[in-house]
Structure 1
Amino acid sequence: MNDDLDPAEVASVLLAGLSVLVRRVRQVPVDGGLTMPERHALSHLDRSGPTTSSALAREAQITAQAMGATLGALRSRGLVERHPDPDDGRRMLLSVTEAGAQALKDKRNARADLIARALTSSAFTQTELELLAEAGPLLERLAQSI
């Protein structure tokens, strides 16, 4: 590593750049029909597996009522299903349906297409594209070490 690079400065530049990118990608509408709360709930269920509505609400730091409305909308569209908790029949667990997993995949693909279109513009040189491609795995490794 270059001795002139200050990790705090690199962290600051990375955080600023990634924050702008993530914010912009979230702001640009894409097809897929999922609101941000719906996408968050589906993503959490997809990553972590079945859980309760109250656990999802705690994780998202929203009220149980707000999560209930989000999950109700997802259930009515067949993206989430409820089933009894095998360990406690009084509780209901929620999980992503096949249609829900496909909706998430479609939303992710739409966002990737959005970024790909921006990268194919003449604003990026081949060298810059190569640097961005190399940065992806490093950013993932950075995220895993936090």
Structure 2
Amino acid sequence: MSDELNTSEIATALLTSIGALLRRVRQSRVEGELTMPERAALSQMDHTGPTTSSALARQEQITAQAMGATLRGLQARGLVERSTDPRDGRRVLLALTDTGRQALADKRGTRTEQVAQALADSFTPQELKQLAAAAPLLDRLAQRI
């Protein structure tokens, strides 16, 4: 590569490696674990607070019908609760229950342990420092897309 950084090559390398990491983590599914759409919906509610089904669908870039099915399943399992919007009684807000918050924490914990073990087994201290430094940059990149 020349002295100038090629942003297209960097983008390709990042998408390839991050995509492979996510696929591997997703492939190791535990029985009864949250699906990706369920986790995404719960994570969004955890981050933003009570919200509408349509707002979640827009955020996750899926159809309202698909999000509705996901939310019905979460509600049936007691992970999400519905309430009337106090500012507009025609709207329904969805929020995490304590059980939903715990399920999300458990999911994050399992994934974190899985990745932490792979890091401990496969990377040098210097490589771990590089990965730690890259994490906030990747987060900033995600916020700009």
Percentage of matched positions with identical amino acids: 60
Q: Against the structure 1 CA distance between its residues 131 and 61, is the aligned structure 2 distance closer, same or farther, given a 3 Å change threshold?
A: closer
The CA distance in 2 between the partners of 1:49 and 1:86, in whole Å, is: 14
Unaligned runs of 5+ in 2: none
State the partner residue of 1:35.
35
Structure 1 unaligned segments of length 5 or more: list them: none
For residues 137 and 59 of structure 1, what CA distance do their matches in structure 2 show?
21
Q: How does 1:1-146 map to 2 (within 5 A)?
A: 3-30=3-30, 33-121=33-121, 123-146=122-145
Q: Provide the rounded CA distance (Å) in 1 between the counterparts of 2:88 and 2:142.
A: 35
Q: Deviations over 1:121-145 (max 9, x none)?
A: 2x32222222212211222233334
The offset of 1:30, in angstroms, is 3.8
- Give the 3 Å change call, closer, same or farther, for CA 129–61 of structure 1 in structure 2: closer
Instruction: Identify which of structures 1 and 2 has the higher relative contact order when contacts are C-alpha pairs closer than 8 Å and 6+ apart.
Output: 1
TM-score of the superposition, structure 2-length normalised?
0.83
TM-score (norm: length of structure 1): 0.83
Three-state SS of the structure 2 residue aligned to 1:82 is strand
Residues 84 and 93 of structure 1 are in contact (CA less than 8 Å); yes or no, is this contact kept in structure 2?
yes
Q: CA RMSD in A?
A: 2.3
2:89 counterpart SS class: strand
Instruction: Report the Cα distance in structure 2 between the residues aligned to 1:134 and 1:3, rounded to whole angstroms.
Output: 22
- Give, in whole Å, the separation in 2 of the partners of 1:112 and 1:46: 18
**Counterpart code for 1:70:** T
1:32–1:103 contact (8 Å) kept in structure 2: no
